Homo-oligomer: A and B are copies of this chain.
Amino acid sequence: MINIVIFTLATFLGFELIHRVPPTLHTPLMSGANAISGITIVGALVVAGGGHGWISTVIGFLAIVFAMFNVAGGYAVTDRMLEMFKRDKAA
């Protein structure tokens, strides 16, 4: 139950935060938010490392690969994009 409270609060907080991101940053926002959703890596680690037999381990391995791809790729590509955003040096 308390979990639903947390989920609700985080949803509201997400709305407020995202609403303030300017359109200029919407593409990095998408990839950055994407990277955050890779948090499911925590679940993958728990599954893979728990020693619940080989099925779990295989599934866990795949889950880790997918999630880490999402995390590493997401953060790196977002960083690459954001690096390019520069203010006018003259101004």
C-alpha gap A40/B60 in the complex (Å): 46
State the majority secondary structure of interface residues on A: helix
What would be 14 A-B contacts, judged by CB atoms less than 8 Å apart? A2-B2, A2-B6, A5-B6, A6-B6, A6-B9, A9-B9, A9-B10, A9-B13, A12-B13, A13-B13, A13-B16, A16-B16, A16-B17, A16-B20
| CB 8 Å contact bits of A1-22 with B (1 = contact, 0 = none) | 0100110011011001100100
Count residues of A near B (Cβ-Cβ below 8 Å). Answer: 10
Give residues 18-61 of A contacting B (CB, 8 Å).
Answer: 20
C-alpha gap A5/B9 in the complex (Å): 10
Q: A10 to chain B: which residues have CB within 8 Å?
A: 9
5 tightest Cβ-Cβ pairs between the two chains A and B:
A16-B16, A9-B9, A13-B13, A2-B2, A12-B13
User: A8's closest neighbor in chain B, by CB?
Assistant: B9
